[in-house]
Structure 1
Amino acid sequence: MKADFLNNLNRGHSPRLLKRVFGSICMLWIAVAIGQQTPAPAQVQPITIEGATAHLGNGKIIENSLIMFADGKLTFVGDAKMKIARTGKVIDAKGQHVYPGLIAPAKPLGLVEIDAVRATDDQDEIGGILPHIRSLIAYNAESQVVESMRPNGVLLAQITPQGGRISGTSSIVQFDAWNWEDAAVKTDDGIHLNWPNTFRRGRWWLGEPRGFQPNKDYQKDVKEVATFMANAKAYDNDTAKEVNLAYAAMQGLFSGAQKLYIYAHGEKEIIDAITQAKAAGVAKIVLVGGYQAHKVASFLKEHNIPVLVRYSHTLPFFEDDDYDFTYKLPKLLSEAGLLVALQNTDDSNFATRNLPFYAGHVAAQGLDKEKALELITGNTAKILGIDDTYGTLEVGKSATLFISKGDALDMVGNQLSKAFIDGRDISLETHQTTLYKRYMGKYDGK
């Protein structure tokens, strides 16, 4: 029977499809083995949180707060001293802190589970220019990696494909769902472009010197991007004799329906990338990474370019940079008047759960603590275009928030007691917490 199944499965199907089927089977086995968390039911009664210090995500604090929400929406955010009737279930949060759900931009969360198992890795497609690749349909809502974000307060993310010159199209999801349809908050919000580098590492296997070398193909690479954008703008869905999926996928950039996320670090690359994109007619641009963005801050401000700045837990690029440069870069850009939020680690999806601690590190370099919080809440929501619903604690917005026993931007204080997504009381249990309880019992002698 097993042989017949495999024969039927192989007959007439591509290796890519077989890979995805096998990956789905692997994920099912993993979910059954570890006990995947079931998404929380919709909110059925009003909830009141009283007494906590509320950090609104817009730079404001309410020391003794009263927060109420019903049907997934915030109905009251104010001082607990106000004479207003408490409704529904009342949570006494005295001595604790309330925050809006943290937002992780530009990460392939849910697209790769285990790096060493190819069947679970769907973050990068074959090819160099792939704006028509939609990350959302490959998103695994039952990912263990995604589940591990919630206990640190990371409740939403921009799911972003990786690799190539144009990686594809991202979407924004919330982290408590049955499938990608349920998870979607904003679909196909932007296209991601990895701008060419003026320098690259020497390819020693081809006899080139080690270390960074000038990229002789830089102008050629730039011309390739510029030509593609020009052709995409000239493409007309209504009159084209043949459908070109790549050109069709780019149309939202020219109408303003989508944003172009440009990954660039060097001063020259940043200026070249934004200049070329503007010349091509791209309406909305976001700079991602921006290691030397502080050197061209006036240029970015002139063109109204927000920055998803490179994460702080890393070493400087260059030997003559200050040792603490990466820690203070977000502060430098914020003081220059730019709209700034924090990008996530380049190294690991799991490390994305450290997002609040990146903001805490920035605060330790002198940025006001509430301004640092904005880098992972209100500012991120503005840049991603979801600030009408998420990112801050304001009446009428989604009740996506969490209660922490201490300072959520500190590794010691970040201990969640409750978390809600669209008013739903979500589980904070994960594979890691299950193992922790199991082995704590073992070593306690129980």
Structure 2
Amino acid sequence: MKKIIEFIVLSMGTVFSGAAQQTPAPSQSEPVVIEGATAHLGNGEIIENSLIMFEDGKLTFVGPATTKIARNGTQIKGKGKHVYPGFIAPSTSLGLIEIDAVRATDDQEELGEMIPHVRSLIAYNAESKVVESMRPNGVLLGQITPMGGRISGTSSIVQFDAWNWEDAAVKVDDGIHLRWPNTFRQGKWWEGEERGYQPNEKYEEQVTEVEVFLRNANAYGDGNGEDMNPAFAAMQGSFDGSKKVYVYADGEKEIIDAITLSKKAGVKNVVLVGGYHAYKITDFLKENKVPVLAQLTHNLPVFEDEDYDLPYKLPKLLVDAGLLVGLQNGEASNFQTRNLAFYAGQLVGQGMDKEKALQLITGNTAKILGIDENYGTLAEGKSATLFISEGDALDMRSNQLTHAFIDGREISLETHQTALWRKYSGKYRGNQR
């Protein structure tokens, strides 16, 4: 009986160890030196033969390797390799949903239309296997965002190596997410309507509902006590500037209406998310100082009369117009967020300078999310959140990480996918039948 019990315990341990995420890395215990690598700083600059040093989770030196300075602690030879700041994934529901078809793993939506008080952070699953799979491609931070409803809720920014959501949090309750109504909608063919796009006859009514909510929330002020309205209370940061409002809109009219009405209602900082037709109204966006989190480049045109390569070049059009632009995963599935680097790489094929393309997933995104004081670029005093790649990290052929660090902690690059790769690679190399 004792042997049976021992076998069961060991079996359970094996099952759970295989199912759980890698154990989060301990705090940095000694200085780390990376010498000889090409450093991509995330601000458009490169140091070909670089010296990067960090201690206690902070970068202490970023400069040329020819600098005469003491090298202490762990030394990593970077010759022939590349160093990058950790990539940042905005507007994603990573950690809120694991398997689309399993309802018990889906916490990305709540009931209701105007629910800014719903906080994504407390539902974030730090042991998500999907989150874990981001790290081998250099995606080390993300803005965890609720979905559904008109005002979906409040996002927070996390790092991807933590025991729980408290440990993961980098910036708590950074912004409210507003999904603006569309002027056109898909016809409900199952109800007898024609297929394809049709005018949304309720557009003005839906816009009025949003405008009234924003104005009432602003008038509500710092209400508290027994009559506290949690939805209005959650909106207060958007009126004093401590929270940004991320507006999801694609058409010209929707974008103009969303920004104009939001600002009239008292919203201080607006960020446009998606912005499929934003390239047509760049002067308006610049005038209102609105940055854009553009949708992924690996996509097809929405309308038949558009350039076949519009999704490929859209972020470049916005950058060329002088806007602050970042990249986000759009409506693609969560697991595709790991391709963030390759969305940026696509822009290089459209003529964008490679270091500018890199900024769209590092320095620019950090500025838009308000975490640029510590993340997004490699500079002295900032967080040592970075990784080393064998080659160009924007190219899927050479994005092969050897080391990755979050706040100076060397994190594991092992995932359930790398385990499966090792398991089956032998078979296809002829080592097994």
TM-score (norm 1): 0.92
Please state whether the residue corresponding to 2:281 is helix, strand or coil: helix
Question: Which residue is 1:297 aligned to?
Answer: 282
**CA-CA distance at 1:186 after TM superposition:** 0.1
> Is residue 2:127 matched to residue 1:128?
no
> 1:282, 1:240 → 2: CA distance?
24
1:219 alignment partner, one of 185, 204, 210? 204
> 2:154, 2:223 → 1: CA distance?
22
2:213 alignment partner, one of 228, 236, 244? 228
Question: Which residue is 1:150 aligned to?
Answer: 135
Question: Which residue is 1:39 aligned to?
Answer: 24
Structure 1 unpaired stretches of 5+: 1-27
> Is residue 2:231 matched to residue 1:246?
yes
Question: Which residue is 2:295 aligned to?
Answer: 310
> Which amino acid is the alignment partner of residue 235 of structure 1?
Y
> Is residue 2:58 matched to residue 1:73?
yes
**CA-CA distance at 1:203 after TM superposition:** 1.1
Please tell me whether the aligned partners of residues 47 and 90 of structure 1 are also in contact (alpha carbons under 8 angstroms). yes
Question: Which residue is 2:41 aligned to?
Answer: 56
Please state whether the residue corresponding to 1:223 is helix, strand or coil: helix
Please tell me whether the aligned partners of residues 108 and 159 of structure 1 are also in contact (alpha carbons under 8 angstroms). yes
Question: C-alpha offsets along residues 361-397 of structure 1, whole Å, 9 cap, x if unaligned?
Answer: 0111011000000000000000000000000000000
1:401 alignment partner, one of 369, 372, 386? 386
Question: Which residue is 2:243 aligned to?
Answer: 258
Question: Which residue is 1:182 aligned to?
Answer: 167
- How many residues get paired? 419
> Is residue 2:397 matched to residue 1:412?
yes
Question: C-alpha offsets along residues 325-350 of structure 1, whole Å, 9 cap, x if unaligned?
Answer: 11111111001110000011412100
> 2:224, 2:104 → 1: CA distance?
40
Question: Which residue is 1:25 aligned to?
Answer: none
Please tell me whether the aligned partners of residues 345 and 351 of structure 1 are also in contact (alpha carbons under 8 angstroms). no
Question: Which residue is 2:376 aligned to?
Answer: 391
> Is residue 2:89 matched to residue 1:104?
yes
> Is residue 2:358 matched to residue 1:378?
no
Please tell me whether the aligned partners of residues 102 and 376 of structure 1 are also in contact (alpha carbons under 8 angstroms). yes
Please state whether the residue corresponding to 1:393 is helix, strand or coil: coil
> Which amino acid is the alignment partner of residue 338 of structure 2?
R
Structure 2 unpaired stretches of 5+: 1-12
Question: Which residue is 1:113 aligned to?
Answer: 98
**CA-CA distance at 1:162 after TM superposition:** 0.5
**CA-CA distance at 1:241 after TM superposition:** 5.8
> Which amino acid is the alignment partner of residue 125 of structure 2?
N
Question: Which residue is 1:355 aligned to?
Answer: 340
RMSD over aligned Cα atoms: 1.3
**CA-CA distance at 1:433 after TM superposition:** 0.3
**CA-CA distance at 1:443 after TM superposition:** 3.7
TM-score (norm 2): 0.95
Question: C-alpha offsets along residues 99-132 of structure 1, whole Å, 9 cap, x if unaligned?
Answer: 0000000000000001111000000011111100
> 2:63, 2:318 → 1: CA distance?
31
Question: Which residue is 1:19 aligned to?
Answer: none
Q: 1:119 to 1:30 in 2, by over 3 A?
A: farther
Q: Percent identity?
A: 69
Please tell me whether the aligned partners of residues 223 and 233 of structure 2 are also in contact (alpha carbons under 8 angstroms). no
Question: Which residue is 2:425 aligned to?
Answer: 440
> Is residue 2:179 matched to residue 1:194?
yes
**CA-CA distance at 1:442 after TM superposition:** 3.5
